[in-house]
Amino acid sequence: MKKLWSLFFIFWPIAAIVIFAISPSMQWWFPGEAKSPIGARIDDLFYLILVLTGVVFVGTQVALGYVLWRASSVKADDKAWYTHGNHKLELIWTVIPALVLLFIAFKQMDVWAEFRIVDRVAEEIRNNPVAEVTARQFEWRMRYPAPGKKLGIIPAPDDMHQVNELVLPVGRKVVINLRTEDVQHSFFAPQFRVKQDAVPGKMIPVWFEVTEPGEYDLVCAELCGWGHYKMRAVIRALPEAEYQTFLAELYEESMSDGFVAEGEAAAEGEGAAAEDSASAESEEE
Domain CATH number, residue 148: 2.60.40.420
The reply to whether 89 and 176 lie within a common domain is no
The reply to whether 172 and 230 lie within a common domain is yes
- Domain contains 260: no
Residue 219: pLDDT above 80?
yes
The reply to whether 188 and 207 lie within a common domain is yes
The reply to whether 104 and 137 lie within a common domain is no
The reply to whether 103 and 205 lie within a common domain is no
- Domain contains 98: yes
Question: Helices 37-72 and 2-26: crossing angle, nearest 10°?
Answer: 170
Alpha-carbon distance 63 to 67, whole Å? 6
92-105 pLDDT, tens digit per residue, is 889 999 999 999 99
- Domain contains 274: no
Residue 82: pLDDT above 80?
no
- Domain contains 16: yes
The reply to whether 181 and 67 lie within a common domain is no
Alpha-carbon distance 240 to 248, whole Å? 12
Radius of gyration in angstroms for the set of CA atoms belonging to the chain, rounded to a whole number: 29
The reply to whether 6 and 98 lie within a common domain is yes
End of a domain among 116, 136, 167?
116
Residue 1: pLDDT above 90?
no
The reply to whether 106 and 188 lie within a common domain is no
Q: List C-alpha distances in Å: 237 to 168, 169, 241.
A: 5, 6, 12
Q: List C-alpha distances in Å: 199 to 78, 139, 180, 218, 222.
A: 64, 15, 6, 17, 11
- Domain contains 284: no
The reply to whether 140 and 94 lie within a common domain is no
The residue segments making up the domain with residue 171 are 123-255
- Domain contains 224: yes
pLDDT, position 21: 85
Residue 164: pLDDT above 80?
yes
- Domain contains 78: no
**107 confidence band (pLDDT: 50, 70, 90):** very high
Burial environment of residue 177 by CB neighbours within 10 A (0 to 12, 13 to 18, 19 or more): middle
- Domain contains 80: no
Helix H, strand E, coil C: the string for the chain is CHHHHHHHHHHHHHHHHHHHHHHHHHCCCCCCCCCCHHHHHHHHHHHHHHHHHHHHHHHHHHHHHHHHHHHHCCCCCCCCCCCCCCHHHHHHHHHHHHHHHHHHHHHHHHHHHHHHCHHHCCHHHHCCCCEEEEEECCEEEEEECCCCCCCCCCCCCCCEEEECEEEEECCCEEEEEEEECCCCEEEEEHHHCEEEEECCCCCEEEEEECCCCEEEEEEECCCCCCCHHHCEEEEEEECHHHHHHHHHHHHHHHHCCCCCCHHHHHHHHHHHHHHHHHHHHHHHC
Question: Helices 37-72 and 87-116: crossing angle, nearest 10°?
Answer: 160
The reply to whether 15 and 60 lie within a common domain is yes
The reply to whether 69 and 98 lie within a common domain is yes
pLDDT, averaged across the chain: 87
pTM: predicted TM-score of the whole model, two decimal places = 0.79
Q: Name residues whose C-beta falls within 8 Å of residue 53's C-beta, 6 or more positions apart in sequence.
A: none
pLDDT, position 75: 76
The reply to whether 139 and 96 lie within a common domain is no
